[in-house]
Amino acid sequence: MLVLGINGSPRKGGNTEILLDCALAGAKRAGAETLKINLGELNFSPCKSCAKAKKNGECIVIDDMQKIYSAVKNADGLILASPVYFGSISAQTKMLIDRFQCHWAAVYQHKTLKQQAERPGFFLCAEAGSQNSFFENSRFIVRNFFTTLNIKYFGGLLCTGLEAAAEVLKRKECLEKAEQEGFDLVRGYNEVHKV
């Protein structure tokens, strides 16, 4: 099993990436291979909502999103991580999601692309404050994204009160929970697929 972790935080080594690393460590402990993508290191543009979209699900804009499309297609499970910015996911994470409009159009509008088999997905979220409504808003967007890609929402983890960079390192319960969720995601996949 290959688990893809996508870090939607622009901050390298911050709370979001640390939580994602813990989840991926849990997935490895359960026997999976892992791959991590840091959106902040990539160069890609927002969706242009163009009328020239290809009907085969491929975006006409050629940029670093091509790496993400390929990685998502090849993954057997996905862990998406984002900080809360202004009550929602980060701009980088939202750009990623919007750029899958080409996939949505091919599957649901043009019906020229078949969905992949269902895979599990998990959402990690770091927040400086403690407003659960911000997490709910972020989770709603992520769940819609997962549905578009036929990814079963396996669950979500919110860690609050993380204002300073790498502050989550002082929150053992968050780190352990993230690692356990990565482990459980793989174990759940293996049980369903009789691996």
Domain architecture of the chain: domains with CATH: 2-192 (3.40.50.360)
The whole-number pLDDT of residue 55 equals: 83
pLDDT digits (tens, 9 = 90+) for 148-176: 999 999 999 999 999 999 999 999 999 99
Q: What is the pTM (predicted TM-score) of this model?
A: 0.95
- How many Cβ atoms are within 10 Å of 165's Cβ, its own excluded? 13
Residue type, 194: K
- Comparing CA positions, the residue from 16, 26, 7, 70 lying closest to residue 185 is 26
Residue 30 vs residues 112, 120, 195: alpha-carbon distances, Å: 36, 15, 12
pLDDT digits (tens, 9 = 90+) for 30-63: 999 999 999 999 999 999 988 776 788 889 999 9
pLDDT digits (tens, 9 = 90+) for 54-66: 788 889 999 999 9
